[in-house]
Amino acid sequence: RKEVEQDPGPFNVPEGATVAFNCTYSNSASQSFFWYRQDCRKEPKLLMSVYSSGNEDGRFTAQLNRASQYISLLIRDSKLSDSATYLCVVNGYTSGTYKYIFGTGTRLKVLA
Amino acid sequence: NAGVTQTPKFRILKIGQSMTLQCTQDMNHNYMYWYRQDPGMGLKLIYYSVGAGITDKGEVPNGYNVSRSTTEDFPLRLELAAPSQTSVYFCASYSGASTGPQHFGDGTRLSIL
């Protein structure tokens, strides 16, 4: 089982739609969680951190369920500019260092 | 506000040549990382460093070397370039805070022909 698993997609949605991505992680000792956005052939950019109580940033809402070991990202009112790959990232302290584990990403295409 | 800076942005090498990919950060971060990303694939960790003078292997270290003589710089060396090393290379840094994210440079696109 992969340490961080995501549905690769692609998710093709019309503009204005609501879309949700899920991510599961295997290490119950993981400490921090993030969603990154990556555009084609560009560097990953932090979209938002994910907090235990859930958090929102404009049209984006992130949730964490530690008991079930999954993280979600909800995008409301999708824009064409939201088309990208969304990476789920989990960080934990193991073997004397902080280890970031990246999912392989979920591709989103927002259609006009 | 530079963050993580990588040079060069693009490079074409011949098989067997060597080169160094440069990475520098101005955020005083202790942790630095090198990843590679092949087309359509996820990030793979090559090497990482938890501070000046300390480096360790990631999941795909073969064919690469690193050094960390200062907090700011973390160069990645390819000694004998092979076509399998054609990839996009990303450098990242992290403060060491338990809830902090990684910050990425904008990558080096490397082709080995």
pLDDT in tens, B19-36: 999 999 999 999 999 999
Greater confidence (A112 vs B96) lies with: A112
Whether residue B103 and residue A46 make contact (CB cut-off 8 A), yes or no, is yes
d(CA B46, CA B60): 5
| Three-state secondary-structure class, residue B30 | coil
pLDDT band at A103 (very low <50, low <70, confident <90, very high): very high
Strand stretches in B52-107, DSSP E: 54-57, 64-66, 76-78, 87-94, 103-104
Q: How many helices (H) and strands (E) does chain B have?
A: 0, 11
d(CA B106, CA A26): 29
Say if residue B90's pLDDT is above 80.
yes
Residue B66: how many CB atoms within 10 A of its CB? 23
Cα end-to-end distance, chain B, whole Å: 36
pLDDT band at A16 (very low <50, low <70, confident <90, very high): very high
Question: Using a CB-CB distance cutoff of 8 angstroms, which residues of chain A are in contact with residue B100?
Answer: 32
Question: What is the nearest CA distance from A1 to chain B, expressed in angstroms?
Answer: 16
Question: What is the nearest CA distance from B107 to chain A, expressed in angstroms?
Answer: 6
Question: What is the nearest CA distance from A80 to chain B, expressed in angstroms?
Answer: 21
Say if residue A1's pLDDT is above 80.
no
Q: Quick one: pLDDT at residue A24?
A: 95
Over residues B63-80, the pLDDT tens digits come to 999 999 999 999 999 989
Q: Does A34 touch chain B (CB under 8 A)?
A: yes
* Residues above pLDDT 90, as percent of chain A: 74
| Mean pLDDT computed over B4-33 | 96
Distances in Å between the Cα of A52 and the Cα atoms of A7, A33, A79, B18 are 22, 9, 27, 46
Average the pLDDT over each of A3-7, B24-28, B109-113 and give the range with the smallest value: A3-7
Chain B contact residues (CB < 8 Å to A) = 31, 33, 41-43, 48, 50, 56, 88, 90, 94, 96, 98-107, 109
Question: In A1-112, where does DSSP find H-type helix?
Answer: none
Over residues B46-62, the pLDDT tens digits come to 999 999 999 999 999 99
Q: Does A41 touch chain B (CB under 8 A)?
A: yes
| Average confidence score pLDDT of chain A | 92
Please name the residue of chain B whose CA is at the shortest distance from the CA of residue A86.
Answer: B42
| Mean pLDDT computed over B13-22 | 97
